[in-house]
Structure 1
Amino acid sequence: MKILGLIPARGGSKSVPGKNIKLLGGKPLIQYTFDVAKQVKGITRLILSSDDDDIISVAKKMGLEVPFKRPKELGQDQTPTIVVIQHALQYFSTQNIYFDAVCLLQVTSPFKTTSFIRDAITKFKSANCDSLVSVSKIPDVYNPHWAFEPDSNNHLKLVTKEEKVISRRQDLPTAYHRDGVIYITKTTVLLNENSLFGNKLAYIESPMEYSVNIDSYEDWNKAEAILMKKV
């Protein structure tokens, strides 16, 4: 199976300006993802997709392939991720280069490991699925089976539409949320169904230390604290 490893990194971040190449522990943020992904044999080709000259320059210096510069209109806040992936696939198709799946590796989750990416690809290949995503467990206090919404009479009812509240924490079913560490999707699903997920969605649970997703200075500080513990 041919898998394209895609690292998206646009310029113009507003929450943490320049975060994709901002130094975290002395290294550009983007380098954390590149350093582990380049060692994954299951990735056929690893590239960067960026609209920003500074990011592209930093990426090339560390040895990350940048086969094209992403159009500015695909680097906006509202640009859907799937459009960025489709642009990369379409670029390669003009060269008669095709992939069976795309492994999306977001820079904002810097602490994933080579073994985690490898395990995700192995599970994707064996799971008879359209896609695989990484997930983290939702804390019990936020479990959807304990979530309420007001009805038309302003009385609370369970969001899950169940009649009775599960009273014991031990009886709550496990619930997950997508944590953004990794997405793997078949090319046919990306292009023909215009979807990152398809109908058959497999998952892999991220260790707690991977779950930081840098979208604010608070997240950045959390990442720095994690690094301090690793030293």
Structure 2
Amino acid sequence: MRILGIIPARGGSKGVPGKNIKLLGELPLLAYTAKSALASKQLSKVILSSDCQEIANVAQQFGIEVPFLRPEHLATDTASSIDVVQHAVSFLENQGEFFDAICLLQPTAPFRYNGFIDDAIQTFIQNDADALVSVLPVPHEFNPHWVFEPNDNGILEIATGEKEIIKRRQELPKAFFRDGSVYLTKISTIKKGSFYGNKLSYIENNPDFYVNIDTLNDWEIALSKLPLIKSLL
């Protein structure tokens, strides 16, 4: 299976200005994802999708190909990730390069254990899924079976629609949230305008590696994790 790795990194970050090339420890944020992507044995090609030449220059310094600069309309706050991926796929197909699936690797989730991307790809292939996402367990207090929603009369109802609440934590079914580290999707599903398709698989990540950088507080959390990350790699 030919899989295209795509690292999306636009220049207009507001929560952490310039975050994609801002130094996180000794390396620009982008470099952590670049190194993980290039270490993968399963990715056929890895490219950057960005509107910013400065980000493109940094990506190239770390060995990532930059076949284009993203159009301005795909670099706004309202631009969707699916549009960004469809643009990258279409650009490469017009150059005669075709792939079976894409692997979206967000720089804002910089930490991945060695081999994690390839483990995700193996699961994706084995399950013959339309897509795969990396996940982490939802803390039991936020499990959807313990979450309430107000109805039109101001009365709380269980979010899952059940009439009786599950009383014991041990009886709660597993629930996960996307951690943003890896998204894998077949090209045929991407062309239908979906990241997930009808058959969505998953790989559970190591929570020690989790951070999703959107704010300065997230940045500080990432900095605090660096010594642990280095010890685990």
TM over 0.5: yes
Distance in structure 1 (CA, Å) of the matches to 2:97 and 2:209: 32
Distance in structure 2 (CA, Å) of the matches to 1:178 and 1:47: 23
Matched, 1:224 2:220: no
Distance in structure 1 (CA, Å) of the matches to 2:180 and 2:158: 27
Matched, 1:45 2:45: yes
Matched, 1:54 2:27: no
Distance in structure 1 (CA, Å) of the matches to 2:120 and 2:42: 10
Question: 1:20-169 maps to which residues of 2 (within 5 A)?
Answer: 20-169=20-169
Question: Percent identity, aligned pairs only?
Answer: 49
Distance in structure 2 (CA, Å) of the matches to 1:206 and 1:113: 9
Residues 58-87 of structure 1, C-alpha deviations (whole Å, 9 max, x = no match): 111222110111111101111110100000
Q: TM-score, normalised by structure 2?
A: 0.96
Distance in structure 2 (CA, Å) of the matches to 1:169 and 1:220: 32
Q: Which stretch shifts more, 152-161 or 35-44?
A: 152-161
Matched, 1:18 2:47: no
Q: Considering only aligned residues, what root-mean-square deviation do their CA atoms show, in Å? A: 1.0
Equivalent position amino acid for 1:220 in 2: W
Residues 65-123 of structure 1, C-alpha deviations (whole Å, 9 max, x = no match): 10111111101111110100000011011112110000000001111133110100011
- 5+ residue gaps in structure 2? none
SS class of match (2:39): coil
Distance in structure 1 (CA, Å) of the matches to 2:95 and 2:153: 60
Distance in structure 1 (CA, Å) of the matches to 2:229 and 2:114: 17
Distance in structure 2 (CA, Å) of the matches to 1:195 and 1:115: 26
CA contact (8 A) 1:37 1:114 kept: no
Aligned length: 230
Distance in structure 1 (CA, Å) of the matches to 2:79 and 2:143: 30
- 5+ residue gaps in structure 1? none
How far is 1:16 from its partner? 0.4
Distance in structure 1 (CA, Å) of the matches to 2:143 and 2:87: 37
Q: TM-score, normalised by structure 1?
A: 0.97
Distance in structure 1 (CA, Å) of the matches to 2:150 and 2:109: 35
How far is 1:230 from its partner? 4.2
How far is 1:127 from its partner? 0.5
